[in-house]
Amino acid sequence: MPATATDSLIFRHIFSTEAMRRLFADEARVQYYLDIEAALARVQARLGIIPGEAAEEICRHCHADEFNFATLKTETERIGYPVLPVVQQLVALCRNGYGEWCHWGATTQDITDTATVLQIRDALALVGEELQAIAASLAGLAKRYRDTPMAGRSNLQQAVPITFGYKMAVLLAGFDRHLARLRELRPRVLVGEFGGAAGNLSSLGADGLRVQAALCDELGLGQPEIAWHTMRDRVAEVGCFLGLVTGTLGKISMDVKLMMQTEVEEAYEPFASGRGSSSTMPQKRNPISSNYIHACTAMVRQHVAALLDAMVEDHERSTGPWEIEWIAVPEIFLLSAGALAQTRFLVGGLQVDAGRMRKNLELTGGLIVSEAVMMRLGAALGRQRAHDLVYDICRQVIATGRPFVDLLAENQEIAAHLGRDELAQLVDPANYLGLCGEMVDRVLAAHAIAAGD
């Protein structure tokens, strides 16, 4: 009976996705083993190392549906590793003793590591699709709200005005960097492993490197320059990459949760009847996807730390850190898939309230643009004097509730340099957006080039 959140019949589509789950299922893992065994037989037959008839017979039975998984379970528990039980069944399935030629010169870790790399390759393809879809939604939001003013916030306080398009473009630029990282890491990570017992290919003599090169080519993987049985940076890099990706997803979820607060109400997750309802408070609309993203992201970070711990391996074949990857890699991908799917849903249907953004800008009666007044006065009074003067007036506004522009205009030192009309322009948040629009345009242009639009 399913017990974990990623396998639970209730939670499985919340914390992960069916497509990612299929890649890490037992049947898929065994099929990856068999794909490698078949490829190894083909290339060794082609190189004249094993008989062609043996390769044909081996390949004919490299299908997971021919294997007894109950026996695989029992034998894996007995032996301690799953590859040998697969090989044993494959040998038994082959006629005329041809199965004895399978797994020729390989070791358990060669098959396991290469299968992991194949899983990672297919899983990263799913991750890439989600990243592209999220980036496309963010690009649409950045373009649509390029000039929509809102409060920028620092330490949860209103800072200076920005635009919502700018806020989305900041995220978009991050996703474009993630996509660039994905392109860059593939050649480093998608590398096969075939080294034999201690990695030096002694079991195949002079043919070792030829077999290794042909096997990797057959599988569409890079050939390693040397064995990496206990040099686990490739796997750890993938984990760290997904840690970065989900960290960005967590940032999105945090901002959306804050914007959905009753006192803010600037943006909402997509509406669906009953979604986010409270059992006791009918008025509530809770941030459901954001909560799930936050949870997935936190757990991915913990598993990434475990992967980094798995790098500390002993000698040429390790005693235990390797098995950490068996647990952590699937969990990282499954939880990342859940966070990506929830984020894709969230940004794809994000509800934006531009009117409320403007209303929130006006909460302080112009104090949000006190920097604009200070910078304008700084040229005449000096920056420090302008800062102190405006600071004192801000305190008066907070204490009295009077309009910022009125107190500015009444100050004789300020009035000597700025008239009320100019002050009114300075305290309008829409007039102090800096280069938000230009920066949005730069990000959108770079995104279009990267996306090939």
Q: Which long-range contacts (CB under 8 A, 24 or more apart) does 30-34 make?
A: 30/64, 30/67, 30/69, 30/72, 30/82, 30/86, 31/63, 31/64, 32/115, 32/118, 32/119, 33/82, 33/83, 33/86, 33/111, 33/112, 33/115, 34/62, 34/63, 34/64, 34/86, 34/90
**Does 385 qualify as catalytic in the annotation?**
no
Distance separating alpha carbons of residues 287 and 291, to the nearest angstrom: 6
Distance separating alpha carbons of residues 396 and 20, to the nearest angstrom: 58
Beta bridge pairs of residue 445: none
**Does 317 qualify as catalytic in the annotation?**
yes
Half-sphere exposure for 410 (CA within 13 Å, toward CB): 9
Check 285, 317, 356, 385 and give the catalytic one: 317
Check 202, 278, 383, 420 and give the catalytic one: 278
Beta bridge pairs of residue 157: 154
Q: C-alpha dihedral over 225, 228, 231, 234, to 10 degrees?
A: 80
Terminal alpha carbon distance of the chain: 47
Residue 310: which of 224, 402, 236 has the closest Cα?
Answer: 236
What is the residue type of 21? Answer: R
Whether the Cβ atoms of residue 208 and residue 230 lie closer than 8 Å to each other: no
Residue 432: which of 375, 359, 354, 352 has the closest Cα?
Answer: 375
Residue 194: which of 174, 173, 218 has the closest Cα?
Answer: 218
Distance separating alpha carbons of residues 46 and 173, to the nearest angstrom: 48
Q: Which two tokens stand for residue 200?
A: 């030096």
Distance separating alpha carbons of residues 333 and 289, to the nearest angstrom: 18
Spatial neighbors of 279 by CB under 8 A, at least 6 apart, are none
C-alpha of 351 from chain center: 23
Between vectors from CA 126 to CA 140 and to CA 186, what angle results, nearest 5°?
Answer: 105
**For residue 452, which phi and psi values (nearest 5 degrees)?**
75, 20
Residue 30: which of 74, 1, 60, 73 has the closest Cα?
Answer: 73
Catalytic residues: 278, 317
